[in-house]
Amino acid sequence: MAPRFPTSWVDQVYAASSIVDVVSNYVPLQKKGQRHWGLCPFHNEKTASFSVNAELNLYYCFGCKASGNIAQFVMEMEKYTYPEALLYLAKQFNVPPPPIMEDDPEAEQRRSLRERLYEASKEAAVYYHDQLWLPEHSEALEYLHNRGLDDSVIRRFGIGVSPNEWDSLLIHLQGKGFSVEELQQAALITVKENTRYDTFRDRIMFPIINRYGQTIGFGARAMGAAQPKYLNTSDSLIFNKRFNVYGINLLRKMRSLDQLYLVEGYLDVIALNQIGVGNAIATLGTSLTPEQVRLIKNYAPEIWIAYDGDEAGQAATLRALDVMQQEGVKARVLRFPDGLDPDDYIHQHGENGFKALKPVLGMAFRLMHLEAQTDMSNDEQKREYARKACQILQVITEPVELDYYLGRISLKTGIAKEVLAQQMQQGHKNKSNSLVQPPLTRRRMRETVSYPQSEFTLAALLATGKLPENLVVTTDFEDGHLRAIVEALQEGKSPASIMENATDEEMRKVAGELFNRLPDLDKTETLAAAEDCLRIIRTSKLNDRIKQLSEELKNQDGDQKSLTLYLISELQAELEKQSQHQAH
């Protein structure tokens, strides 16, 4: 399919964009030398191996080998198409829209539909909010007031109400120019056979807004006994509950946060916000997902889980700790007594009571929860508690931390720390090989791309732009991917363009690693290194050709044999020249 935008405009977008600014929205970066480094957003790691090259507008992870240019990074993080990523970058860096749009009807339709769905959702949010202040909906407003929400916070979060009518929103939005198909794709109306009606009716409406301030869906809460209690927007082109959290739009202007509060409900977020705790977010009616953790983990160094104090909330807390552990996020837990949720606790104990709560580390919470499930007066259950606790502790890698928790378990069970340590070692031995060894995917991440080292180095030297023209020729490269990269460089294509047009994933990996390993040499040193690589490559080729001709010589006679001997002597003479040149 033809490019959607003129090449000159695409080049303008790349020239105006800063990959450091873009990546910094997702990953804290630290400059070291000529590059910026941070934790990779595409896999779990504790040591920064994610490299950003500001000069070339490229990224590369030395751990999982993820690589690409600035547009490809946006595509990966936001699930955008390539045209959508370019339009996003143009908007972020104040590049005027393209003067001429080249034909790509499918991409244009998708982009246009996405924008229409954003607009429809925003109009729906305004409509629901306006309805809340009408006399016929005084019951809904009274319900919110009774929950402790004042008018200021209601307006701040754009809370509204959906009328108890079948098609009031449908009629309103059709009057705004939206089609039935658009409203259905935004999940604002439901279409069944020959009927169509509003998806949400007689419910308190909480707009769900993404990090860019766009309304993407709704959480709808029943005011009475209607079921389900909460009803969320179904997945659409602009909304997926696995990839979003409630309240993230309010974090955009916050800086240097020490922690985020993760709660279960919209009202919990709002109650915290009302007492001045603005750094609170909530999942969208599902268990915490890895995608949500990756979305929020760069806003603060710690996440404090403040789930409901009942058994279901505590079980959800354990699951959330598992996900955060997998994603390498430090977590603490706030414990609410008597099964209360944060909203109820704030109503009963006020702002000071909430802020007086002390969080416990995730590991401490796990052990406390296990103890609560155990009859510690029963010796058999106490021993089972010790075994399970030792199993939980096996994820700890710091000796001091491990010794601390073993000491706590020892005090509670009367079992010596040394015995508990032996139990842990036994647990490690009993694990199957499949559990002890890293998953296949992680082993693959550590694998390096296979290519001839001299050819790779020569291509990297060429990519610096410091070599004389025509010194390197494509026939110097046996590896197909390296040859294609060299051809593109000699045609004047930029590294970002080469990454964008990589013919397959393997070539993208090779190019990504190559452009992120450019030697830091001056022109003289670059030329000398290139000449060394060329001698190695050409000497190897000469030796291979001599060996091949020598094999052919065994089955030849007469003139053919004489010609082959002549060719061998010429090649040996050339090989001697290469050796003499190297000696000098």
Which two structure tokens, joined as six digits, stand for 445?
């991440």
Half-sphere exposure of 471 (CA within 13 A, CB side): 20
For the domain 7-103, what is the CATH superfamily, name and number?
Answer: Zinc finger, CHC2-typedomain (3.90.580.10)
Q: What is the rounded distance in angstroms from the CA atom of residue 124 to the CA atom of residue 207?
A: 9
* Predicted structure pTM score: 0.64
Q: What is the rounded distance in angstroms from the CA atom of residue 355 to the CA atom of residue 306?
A: 12
CATH 1.10.860.10 domain range(s) in the chain: 453-583
**Alpha helix positions (H), 3-104:** 7-16, 19-24, 70-78, 82-92
CB atoms within 10 A of CB 404: 13
**Cβ contact 313:307 at 8 Å:** yes
- State the DSSP string of 261-284: EEESSHHHHHHHHHTT---EEE-S
What is the predicted pLDDT for the residue at 428? 61
What is the predicted pLDDT for the residue at 437? 35
Which two structure tokens, joined as six digits, stand for 247?
């309240």
What is the predicted pLDDT for the residue at 103? 56
CATH 3.40.1360.10 domain range(s) in the chain: 246-361
DSSP run (H or E) holding 353 = helix 342-355
Which two structure tokens, joined as six digits, stand for 67?
């690589």
What is the predicted pLDDT for the residue at 434? 36
Cα Rg, the chain, nearest whole Å: 31
Kindly give the confidence (pLDDT) of every residue in the chain, 584 residues in length, as a single tens digit, with 9 standing for 90 and above: 334 677 778 888 888 888 999 998 888 899 887 789 999 888 877 888 899 988 888 898 888 888 889 988 988 887 777 888 888 898 888 888 886 555 556 766 777 888 899 999 999 999 999 999 999 999 999 999 999 999 999 999 999 999 999 999 999 999 999 999 999 999 999 999 889 999 999 999 999 999 888 999 999 999 878 888 889 999 999 999 988 999 999 987 777 788 999 999 999 999 999 999 999 999 998 899 988 988 888 788 899 999 999 999 999 999 999 999 888 888 999 999 888 999 999 999 998 999 899 999 999 999 999 999 999 999 999 999 999 999 999 888 777 888 888 989 999 999 998 899 888 887 666 654 333 333 333 333 334 445 677 888 888 888 888 888 888 888 888 888 898 999 988 888 888 788 878 877 788 888 888 887 777 677 887 888 788 788 888 888 778 778 888 888 778 777 787 787 878 787 777 767 665 554 44
The CATH code belonging to domain 453-583 is: 1.10.860.10
CATH 3.90.980.10 domain range(s) in the chain: 104-239
Residue 218: helix, strand or coil by DSSP? Answer: strand
Closest Cα to residue 263, out of 280, 288, 286, 241?
280
- State the DSSP string of 151-212: HHHHHHTT-EEE-SSSSHHHHHHHHTT--HHHHHHTTSEEEETTEEEES--SEEEEEEE-TT
CATH topology of domain 104-239: DNA primase DNAg catalytic core, N-terminal domain (3.90.980)
CA 100 distance to own-chain centroid? 33
CATH architecture for the domain at 246-361: 3-Layer(aba) Sandwich (3.40)
